């Protein structure tokens, strides 16, 4: 159940991250139909009330899934699908909700951001060293005298 839902939830994030809000909404609506939400107020002490999103007797997995779908639906309605993201680190592939103030997040975590930035820095440094070596090699290469071609006059 979770594996299938995971693929579908990822599609929601990919649609949102690529500006396809209508597709994200359609997928969430489909998930809401497949995992209907039945909100109920629950609590253990007076004043400590909270909402559960499925009816009593549901499997725990169904309750978590319904909660995730409901939460993403509320998030989309509140902030739009542009806040759904897929980690920019090619080795990761995780998804995230962008909670930054200016909607500028590109990575799922600081770890992925650091790993990606370090890899980019090392690649630039390696390219600079390679370019410097090629330039130095070209300067050390002895100049080959060119033979001049004489054209007879006359």
pLDDT digits 0-9 by tens, 81-139: 999 999 999 899 899 999 998 989 999 999 999 999 998 899 899 888 888 777 777 77
Alpha-carbon span 23 to 6, nearest angstrom: 16
- In sequence order, the 6+-apart residues with CB closer than 8 A to the CB of 88 are 106, 107, 112, 116
pLDDT digits 0-9 by tens, 27-58: 999 999 988 888 888 887 777 888 877 655 67
Contact yes or no for 35/6 (Cβ under 8 A): no
> Would you list the DSSP string of 106-141?
-SSSHHHHHHHHHHHHHHHHHHHHHHHHHHHHHHHS
- In sequence order, the 6+-apart residues with CB closer than 8 A to the CB of 105 are 85, 96, 98, 99
> Is the entire prediction scored with pTM above 0.85?
no
DSSP state of 81: G
């Amino acid at each position: 159940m979770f594996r299938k839902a995971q693929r579908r939830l990822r599609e929601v994030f990919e649609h949102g991250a690529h500006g396809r809000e209508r597709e994200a909404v359609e997928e969430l609506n489909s998930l809401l139909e497949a995992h209907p939400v039945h909100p109920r107020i629950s609590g253990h002490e007076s004043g400590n009330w909270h909402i559960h999103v499925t009816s009593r007797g549901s499997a725990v997995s169904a309750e978590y899934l319904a909660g995730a779908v409901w939460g993403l639906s509320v998030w989309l309605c509140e902030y739009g699908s542009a806040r759904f993201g897929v980690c920019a680190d090619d080795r990761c592939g995780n998804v995230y909700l962008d909670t930054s103030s200016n909607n500028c997040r590109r990575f799922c975590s600081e770890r992925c951001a650091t790993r990606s930035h370090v890899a980019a820095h090392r690649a630039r440094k390696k390219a600079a060293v390679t370019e410097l070596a090629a330039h130095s090699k070209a300067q050390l290469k002895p100049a080959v005298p060119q033979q001049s071609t004489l054209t007879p006059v006359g």
